Chains A and B, each alone.
Chain A
Amino acid sequence: MRAVLAEDQALLRVGLTRILETCGIRVVEAVDNAAALARALARDDFDVAVVDVRMPPSYTNEGLLAAVEARAARPGLPVLVLSQYVESLYARDLLAGGEGAVGYLLKDRVADVDGFVGAVRQVAGGGTVLDPEVVAALVSAAGRDRPLARLTPREREVLTLMAEGRSNAAVAARLFLSEKAVGKHTTSIFTKLDLPPDTDDNRRVLAVLAWLQG
Chain B
Amino acid sequence: MKLPAITSIRPGPVDERGLVDRLRLTLVAAGTFFLGFPALILAILTLLSVALGPLGVGFVLANAVVPATEVLARLHRRLSSALLGEQVEASYAATADRGFLSRPPVWLRDGNRWRDFGFLAFSGTGGFVLSGVPALLLVTPFVHLGGLIIDGSLIWLLTLVISSVCPLVWWVVTPPLVRARARTERGLLGHSRVADLERRVEQVEETRAETLDHSAAEVRRIERDLHDGAQARIAAVGMNVGLAEKLLVSDPAAAAELLREARETTVSALEDLRSVVRGIHPPVLADRGLAGALEALALPFPIPVTLRLQLPAGLPAPVESAAYFAVAECLANTVKHSGAARAWITGEHRDGRLRLVVGDDGRGGADPTSSGLGGVGRRLAAFDGTMTVLSPSGGPTVVTMEVPCRTT
Contacts and interface: CB of A to CB of B under 8 A. Distances in A.
A84 B233 CA distance: 12
B163 interface: no
Contacts of B232: 9, 11-12
Contact of B224 (A19, A59, A112, A113): A59
Contacts of B265: 11
Contact-residue size bin, chain B (C-beta under 8 Å from the other chain): 10 to 19
A113 B242 contact: yes
Nearest to A7: B232
A112 B239 CA distance: 8
Given A11-B265, A12-B236, A15-B236, A111 B242 contact: yes
A115 to B, nearest CB: 9
Contacts of A111: 235, 238-239, 241-242
Q: Which of A15, A23, A112 has the most CB of B within 10 A?
A: A15
Contacts of B242: 19, 110-113, 116
B361 interface: no
A108 interface: yes
Interface string B218-237: 00000010011001110110
A84 B224 contact: no
Contacts of B57: none
Contacts of A9: 228, 232
Given A18-B243, A22-B247, A54 B238 contact: no
A162 interface: no
User: At the interface, is chain B mostly helix, strand, loop or mixed?
Assistant: helix
A121 interface: no
Contacts of A15: 235-236, 239-240, 243
Interface residues of A, number: 20
Q: Which of B227, B231, B242, B247 has the most CB of A within 10 A?
A: B242
A110 B239 contact: yes
A107 interface: yes
Given A11-B265, A112-B242, A113-B245, A54 B235 contact: no
Interface in A1-16: 9, 11-12, 15-16
Given A19-B243, A22-B243, A110 B238 contact: yes
B326 to A, nearest CB: 28
Contact of A19 (B228, B231, B233, B239): B239
A84 B236 contact: no
A157 interface: no
A59 B246 CA distance: 32
Interface string B236-262: 101111110111000000000000000
Contacts of B238: 108, 110-111
B254 to A, nearest CB: 9
B396 to A, nearest CB: 39
Nearest to B268: A11
Q: Which of B224, B233, B243 has the most CB of A within 10 A?
A: B243
A16 B228 contact: no
Contacts of A112: 242
A119 B80 CA distance: 84
A54 B228 CA distance: 10
Interface string A153-188: 000000000000000000000000000000000000
B136 to A, nearest CB: 80
A23 B247 CA distance: 10
Nearest to A106: B235
Contact of A108 (B233, B235, B243, B247): B235
A114 interface: yes
A114 B227 contact: no
A66 B59 CA distance: 75
A177 B228 CA distance: 42
A59 B224 CA distance: 9
Given A59-B224, A84-B227, A84-B231, A114 B236 contact: no
Interface string A49-92: 00000100001000000000000000000000000100000000
Given A15-B240, A19-B243, A110 B224 contact: no
A19 B245 CA distance: 11
A116 B241 CA distance: 14
A12 B239 contact: yes
Contact of B236 (A11, A23, A54, A113): A11
Interface in A105-133: 107-108, 110-114, 116
22 contacts: A11-B232, A11-B233, A12-B239, A15-B239, A19-B239, A19-B242, A19-B243, A22-B243, A22-B247, A54-B227, A59-B224, A84-B227, A110-B235, A110-B238, A111-B238, A111-B241, A111-B242, A112-B242, A113-B242, A113-B243, A113-B245, A116-B242
Interface of B: 224, 227-228, 231-233, 235-236, 238-243, 245-247, 265
Given A22-B246, A108-B235, A113-B242, 4 more contacts: A15-B235, A18-B239, A84-B235, A113-B243
